[in-house]
A and B are shown apart, each in its own frame.
Chain A
Amino acid sequence: MIGSLLRREWQILRRAKGAVINPMAFLFLSATLFAIAAPALVIQQTSQGASAAGILWTLVLLTQLLALDGMYRRDFDSGLLEQLLVTAQVPFVAVLSRIFMQWLSTGFIIVLASPLLAVLLGLSVETLPATAVALLLGTPTLSLLGSIGASVTVGFNRGGVILALLVLPLFLPTLIFGADLVEAAQAGRDFMPQAYVLGLISLGALALAPFATLAGLKISLEMQ
């Protein structure tokens, strides 16, 4: 059952290539904007470790936010979502596989692209593995908690701003520990504590998000 659900999600993903490409284009575009608007933070080699790590994580957060808005929208509009929740033996698993695919199409791609992004933002080459680890451990939280906000706001005409208001405060711990992990790696310090905390937060989000998303989707479906 899980296999068929994942296969189905994968096919949806393959058909909607924009869902993968657009956020990544946004991510790199906004990194460019940062380099142009605030060269002191990115290009010049002063205190760059700290600000580059922070900028990287902020951009990742915003990219995720942008991608989250469309997480359930298409299926919600076409009625597929209702069908899925009704027909799935365990709706919980259906939601979880959707979240997993959302992460695969944004968070995971960001992890893959992180060396390029980190170098663009002026992080040193030695920091690249730590950056990838930070993103690998942190981005699942963004997809999981973001899914809660997306599920509640999917029925709104303009849900984007409300989604941001609901979800960004919840992203704060990930931002703090993620940026701190990269910064510690840049400074040559031990970054395992931050990695543990990021992983723990992701696990906590994993326990909370599917149930809350399910409740949120039910609310949104009744709103239709």
Chain B
Amino acid sequence: MLAALKRLWHKLGSPRWFFALTSFWVSLLGWAALLFLLVGAVWGLAFAPADYQQGNSFRIMYVHVPAAMLAQSLYIGMGVAGFIGLVWRMKLTDVFIAASLPLGMVVTALALFSGSVWGRPTWGSWWEWDGRTVSTLVLFFLYVGIYALREAIADMQLRARASALLAMVGTVNIPIIKYSVEWWNTLHQPASFGLTQKPAMPSEMWLPLLVMVLGFYALAGFVVLTRMRAEILHREGSARWVGEWIAGRRAI
């Protein structure tokens, strides 16, 4: 059992094995993302009943909440990958970090933007220093820090180790930052209705949200895996298996 696990672990670290495994998953996730996002968007936009307090502006939730969740998950994923990469010297983890960093940054910016657009009709201003807003903004800066660090280091291996280290440190700090921002928020936030204490949503409201969350995560899976595959081809360009794979493909 243990030996089998160990073998799997080593296999997981091999770019070649990973590349072969993901060719199926990447298309599955791509189609799933397309399906879920279309169904969820139509459901959320046209079928879900309007909120009795916020009216139709609450429909923004269906794109805002999944983006915010994904933004955080991707950073934590980078932190975990960084830990694994530092401890077990696995090459694939840096490929993962390189692939999810741009996506995470974009998705965090998207969550901030849609939150701001939602805040205008709900709170009456485009920007409110709400606790969750601040946490997401700090998350964005954490992403930017790692991005800047990666840009500054030319050597591939050192870049991998430095960004893994900082992703790890950032991930350890995320709960502390969230907790302290919440503390700060309860002191400074003028009572705003609605968003901070969410009433239990009826199922016709949260089901589309669930579909959208699945869609966002499937899309993230598709994007990260595709970028990882591209990065693996780039890094392993002269390995024999890459040549064989290239030879088996029609020209594009």
A170 touches B173 (CB 8 A): yes
Contacting residue for B183 out of A165, A177, A223, CB 8 A: A177
Q: Tell which of A159, A161, A216 has the most Cβ of chain B within 10 Å.
A: A216
B145 touches A216 (CB 8 A): no
B176 touches A165 (CB 8 A): no
Distance between Cα atoms of A35 and B148 in the complex (Å): 34
Distance between Cα atoms of A162 and B169 in the complex (Å): 15
With A180-B184, A180-B187 in contact, do A152 and B165 touch (Cβ < 8 Å)?
yes
B165 touches A166 (CB 8 A): no
B142 touches A169 (CB 8 A): yes
With A152-B149, A162-B148 in contact, do A219 and B172 touch (Cβ < 8 Å)?
no
1/0 contact string of B161-186 vs chain A (CB within 8 Å): 11001101110110011011101100
Taking residues whose C-beta sits less than 8 angstroms from the other chain, chain A's interface range is: 20 to 34
**Does B152 count as interface, using CB distance less than 8 angstroms?**
yes
A223 touches B155 (CB 8 A): yes
B183 touches A176 (CB 8 A): yes
Q: Which A residues between 156 and 197 are near B, CB-CB below 8 angstroms? A: 156, 159, 161-162, 165-166, 168-170, 172-173, 176-177, 180, 197
* Known contacts A169-B145, A172-B181; 6 further A-B pairs (Cβ under 8 A): A161-B148, A169-B177, A176-B184, A177-B180, A180-B184, A212-B168
> Nearest Cβ in chain A — how far from B221, in angstroms?
27
Contacting residue for B145 out of A156, A165, A180, CB 8 A: A165
Total interface residues in chain B, CB < 8 Å:
29
Which B residues are within 8 Å of any A CB, using their own CB? Answer: 86, 138, 141-142, 144-145, 148-149, 152-153, 155, 158, 161-162, 165-166, 168-170, 172-173, 176-177, 179-181, 183-184, 187
The chain B residue sitting closest to A172, CB to CB, is: B177
Contacting residue for B138 out of A145, A172, A216, CB 8 A: A172
Distance between Cα atoms of A29 and B165 in the complex (Å): 35
Contacts of B153 in A (CB 8 A): 223
Contacting residue for B180 out of A152, A172, A215, CB 8 A: A172
B152 touches A156 (CB 8 A): yes
Distance between Cα atoms of A155 and B179 in the complex (Å): 33
With A165-B144, A204-B176, A223-B158 in contact, do A212 and B184 touch (Cβ < 8 Å)?
no
With A165-B144, A172-B180, A177-B183 in contact, do A208 and B138 touch (Cβ < 8 Å)?
no
Contacts A/B (CB < 8 Å), 14 sampled: A145-B169, A152-B149, A152-B166, A159-B152, A162-B145, A162-B149, A168-B141, A169-B138, A169-B177, A170-B173, A172-B181, A177-B180, A212-B165, A216-B165
